[in-house]
Amino acid sequence: MPESDFFISTLINLSVNLVYTVAVLVIAVIALKYIDSKLLKSIALEEEIKKGNVAAAIFASTILIFIAIIVASSMT
């Protein structure tokens, strides 16, 4: 019986972490779209990345990492 309790609590913990990860990912992508549309009106990040602009890809990934850090620190 204790082993099944451990298994159930592990599954619950895994599912909570999975939901948290998906939520942070969705928030980060929405924030990146907002930053791209409102603050960077002269630069279309998605088009620049499709053209192969490495600097735009690095910039976009840096914004996503920054947003993830902020969201993660606010949820703890």
Q: How far is CA 36 from CA 2, 30, 43, 48, in A?
A: 51, 10, 8, 12
Give the pLDDT of residue 76.
60
| Alpha carbons 24 and 46: distance in angstroms, whole number | 20
| Alpha carbons 68 and 62: distance in angstroms, whole number | 10
Give the pLDDT of residue 58.
92
Q: Is the pLDDT of residue 75 over 70?
A: no
Where do the domains of the chain lie? 22-75
Give the pLDDT of residue 59.
86
* Closest alpha carbon to 59 in 73, 43, 75: 43
pTM of this prediction exceeds 0.85: no
- Helix (H) and strand (E) counts for the chain? 3, 0
Residues 13-71 pLDDT 10s: 889 888 888 887 888 788 878 877 887 777 777 888 899 999 988 988 888 888 778 77
